[in-house]
């Protein structure tokens, strides 16, 4: 089947067995790959209510039809499981050599089941699958683990690994790869740790099946050059994602002190130009000509690779404005394998809870040593504080009480990315309806909203834009599995992607042909949620209460006195449901499910999950 290997590798860590499974063209065209494959597999195979950190959960590593081929930024892979943060479907996307190697080993997806008896390294090399002891690296950080693996298997091997946070089941532990790639914010690293799976190493040597390989190679080579030229003309990768920090500060969208403020006079010390000036190395994903992994030295002179989210949530949001200190917390997150975003937002929540008398302790915003020590405690689940904060801000808030849940900056249990939406209704909606919890990856409407619409509007056009962006970002890029940055950051046209898809699959699709599968993916993520939480209602799609609170409004700057309004937000949410064909609770209607070819999945939602 051109475009797909047509094979899935299923391994079971409990009995060290493995087998190849074939999938057919119908499955491929309906679910495309990556997130589509992972979601469908997990929905079909996980019984509702299973413990995300129990052996019944499954980890899926999935690539898409254009992953790993010679074309711009195709070195990405989706990692997915039932999320320990949200309790529903969760995934992440990271750059890794696993992308190409898995396909060259003959697979489009890997399903990891069960739980190993002792720390294990899963080794895949074409026809060979081995379950090897990993005791020597258990307890090590991700950098040492990576070095150990490279020393044995060579730098060209595809590697996914976890640090101490994953081993210790920190709910927001990520999976790591290469020098600085991280993915799986909703706790995919903890799922790996729960299986005693320290690392996955993949090698492969077969060709990736393509309908027109010569044409694809020529087109890919030209396009890689063209994307490099676009990047060089714009200068984007000199600061990468961190370039957006100054803009967020200017438009009052920066999280400062647990999202209490939206801008800060010292933010220029921790922004894109500050990182550019301190750059010591640049890293990136395979097949990328606009590499954006910009590294600087931290307080201990270790290389630390900063992105905007890391900088915002470990910097201003903790009241820290010394970039080397931010780099240190970032290095620690990378080495422990902690999500910088949930890690930063959980630390800021704790400092805020102390400031508001909800929690005991002496951690204050701006206290670098305090945050550093608390982060270390989280990674090891040391002491009651480390152990509780390893659960994330929502679960901690439920223990602290005293109304602290209102300023736990999360949706569905996953912490908000570094965009402070006190007065940005469309972006607040994007966070609210993100099916994996608050993540900007699904729909980054903020720049369109602030530059091209009245900020105060709650118009239907914003809900439509959220849907449009979800289709492109969460539906297209997560399924064909390719980095979205050429499109969003340097203006590479979306029409290139059907061209690549057609060259590898031999089809004649246009962009619009991807939207049914994109909508199907979003509808099934909702069904996954409904099956886990049958009494769900629209409140599950609300952003944090703090953004609606007049007492929390800015006292100065461009949005002084402004805040979100409940009734208007609810109306905006209604537009979103209406556009998507969901009912008043935000559940796809039976008609929508049938239109998307999800009748069987609707039936599998169970009798208790009412579909209107
Ligand atoms: C992603 C999330 C992000 S999104 C960032 S910064 W960003 C944080 N990075 C972390 C990190 O680093 N270390 C760490 N310990 N935790 C981290 N948590 C945070 O994780 C990443 C880039 C970025 S940088 C973004 S936006 C884009 N994301 C893409 C995506 O989601 N899909 C896609 N098709 N293309 C994308 N391209 C860009 O990739 P999660 P990476 Mg990441 C150090 O996975 O779970 O989605 O969380 O993968 O290879 O590092 O590239 O301003
Ligand atoms: Fe990776 Fe950045 Fe290149 Fe995207 S632009 S492929 S995230 S290095």
pLDDT-derived band at 604 (thresholds 50, 70, 90) equals confident
287 alpha carbon, closest ligand = 2
Ligand 2, residues at Cβ distance < 6 Å: 73, 75, 95, 284-285, 288, 290-293, 483, 485
* Residue 608: predicted pLDDT: 65
* Residue 127: predicted pLDDT: 81
Report DSSP letters for 154-200, one per residue: -TTSEEEE--HHHHTT-TTB-EEETTTEEE-TTTHHHHHHHTTEEEE
Phi/psi region, residue 592 (left: phi>0; alpha: psi -120 to 50; beta: rest), is alpha
**Among the atoms of ligand 1, which is closest to the Cα of residue 477?**
34
State percent of the chain over pLDDT 90.
98
pLDDT-derived band at 607 (thresholds 50, 70, 90) equals low
* Residue 12: predicted pLDDT: 98
Q: Which candidate, 405, 412, 447, 452, places its Cα nearest to that of 427?
A: 447
Averaged pLDDT, 541-568: 98
Task: Name the residue with the closest Cα to ligand 1, atom 35.
Answer: 483
Q: List 39's β-bridge partners, or say none.
A: none
What dihedral angle (degrees, nearest 10) is formed by the CA atoms of 164, 169, 171, 174? 40
Rounded CA gap, 260 and 257, in Å? 6
* Residue 180: predicted pLDDT: 87
* Residue 611: predicted pLDDT: 82
Report DSSP letters for 73-115, one per residue: T--EEEEEEE-TTTSSEEEEEEE-THHHHHHHTT-SEEEEES-
Rounded CA gap, 196 and 198, in Å? 6
310 alpha carbon, closest ligand = 1
For 525, the enclosing helix (H) or strand (E) is helix 515-532
pTM for the complete prediction?
0.98
Q: What is the mean pLDDT of the chain?
A: 97
* Residue 606: predicted pLDDT: 77
Averaged pLDDT, 71-90: 98
R_g (Cα) of the chain, nearest Å: 22
Residues 379-410 pLDDT 10s: 999 999 999 999 999 999 999 999 999 999 99
Residues 275-285 pLDDT 10s: 999 999 999 99
Report DSSP letters for 300-313, one per residue: TS-EEEE-HHHHHH
- Pocket lining: 285 vs ligand 1, CB cutoff 6 Å: yes
The answer to whether residue 609 scores a pLDDT higher than 80 is: no
Of 254, 307, 521, which is best to mutate to test ligand 1, by the most ligand atoms within 8 angstroms of its C-beta? 307
**Among the atoms of ligand 1, which is closest to the Cα of residue 478?**
34
- What is the end-to-end Cα distance of the chain in Å, rounded? 38
Residue 611 CA, ligand 1 centroid: distance in Å? 34
- Rounded to 5 degrees, what are φ and ψ at 200? -120, 130
Rounded CA gap, 547 and 528, in Å? 27
Q: Using an 8 Å Cβ cutoff, are 253 and 105 in contact?
A: no
Residues 17-70 pLDDT 10s: 999 999 999 999 999 999 999 999 999 999 999 999 999 999 999 999 999 999
């Amino acid at each position: 089947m051109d475009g797909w290997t047509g094979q899935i590798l299923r391994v079971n860590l409990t009995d060290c067995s493995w087998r190849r499974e074939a999938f057919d063209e119908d499955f491929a065209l309906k679910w495309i790959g990556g997130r589509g494959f992972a979601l469908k597999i997990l929905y079909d195979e996980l019984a509702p209510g299973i413990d995300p950190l129990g052996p019944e959960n499954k980890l899926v590593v999935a690539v898409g039809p254009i992953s790993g081929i010679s074309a711009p930024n195709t070195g990405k892979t989706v990692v997915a499981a039932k999320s320990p943060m949200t309790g529903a479907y969760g995934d992440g996307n990271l750059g890794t050599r696993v992308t190409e190697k898995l396909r060259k080993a003959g697979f489009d997806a890997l399903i990891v089941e069960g739980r190993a008896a002792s720390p294990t390294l899963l080794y895949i090399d074409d026809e060979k699958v081995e379950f090897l002891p990993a005791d020597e690296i258990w307890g090590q950080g991700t950098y040492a683990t990576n070095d150990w693996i490279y020393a044995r298997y060579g730098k060209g091997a595809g590697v996914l690994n976890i640090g101490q946070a994953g081993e210790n089941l920190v709910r927001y532990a990520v999976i790591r790869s290469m020098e600085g790639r991280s993915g799986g914010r909703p706790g995919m690293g903890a799922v790996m740790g729960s299986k005693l799976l320290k690392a996955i190493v993949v090698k492969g040597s077969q060709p990736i099946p393509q309908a027109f390989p010569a044409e694809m190679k020529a087109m890919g080579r030209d396009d890689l050059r063209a994307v490099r030229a676009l990047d060089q003309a714009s200068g984007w990768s000199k600061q990468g994602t961190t370039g957006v920090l100054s803009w967020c500060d200017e438009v009052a969208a920066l999280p400062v002190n647990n999202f209490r403020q939206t801008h800060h006079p010292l933010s220029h010390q921790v922004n894109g130009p500050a990182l550019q000036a301190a750059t010591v190395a640049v890293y990136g994903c395979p097949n990328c000509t606009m590499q954006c992994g910009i590294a600087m030295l931290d307080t201990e002179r270790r290389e630390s690779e900063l992105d905007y989210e890391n900088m915002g949530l470990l910097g201003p949001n903790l009241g820290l404005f010394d970039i080397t200190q931010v780099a240190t917390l970032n290095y620690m997150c990378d080495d422990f394998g902690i999500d910088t975003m949930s890690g930063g937002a959980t630390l800021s929540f704790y400092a805020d809870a102390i400031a508001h008398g909800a929690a005991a302790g002496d951690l204050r915003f701006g206290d670098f040593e305090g945050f550093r020590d608390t982060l270390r405690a989280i990674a090891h689940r040391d002491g009651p504080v480390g152990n509780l904060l390893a659960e994330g801000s929502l679960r901690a808030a439920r223990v602290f009480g005293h109304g602290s849940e209102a300023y736990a900056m999360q949706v569905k249990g996953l912490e908000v990315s570094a965009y402070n939406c006190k007065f940005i209704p469309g972006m607040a909606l994007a966070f609210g309806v993100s099916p994996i919890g608050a993540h900007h990856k699904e729909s980054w409407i903020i720049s369109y909203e602030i530059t091209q619409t009245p900020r105060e509007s709650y118009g239907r056009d914003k809900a439509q834009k959220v849907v449009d962006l979800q289709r492109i970002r969460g539906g297209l890029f997560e399924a064909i599995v390719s980095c979205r940055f050429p499109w969003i950051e340097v203006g590479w046209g979306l029409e290139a992607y059907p061209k690549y898809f057609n060259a590898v699959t031999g089809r004649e699709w246009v962009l619009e042909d991807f939207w049914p599968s994109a909508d199907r993916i979003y509808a099934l993520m909702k069904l996954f949620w409904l099956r886990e939480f049958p009494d769900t209602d629209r409140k599950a799609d609300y952003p944090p209460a703090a953004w609606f609170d007049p007492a929390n409004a800015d006292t100065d700057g461009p949005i002084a006195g402004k805040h979100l309004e409940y009734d208007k937000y609810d109306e905006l949410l209604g537009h979103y449901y209406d556009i998507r064909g969901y009912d008043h609770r935000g559940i796809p209607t039976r008609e929508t499910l049938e239109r998307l070819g999800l009748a069987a999945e609707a039936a599998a939602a169970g009798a208790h999950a009412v579909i209107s």
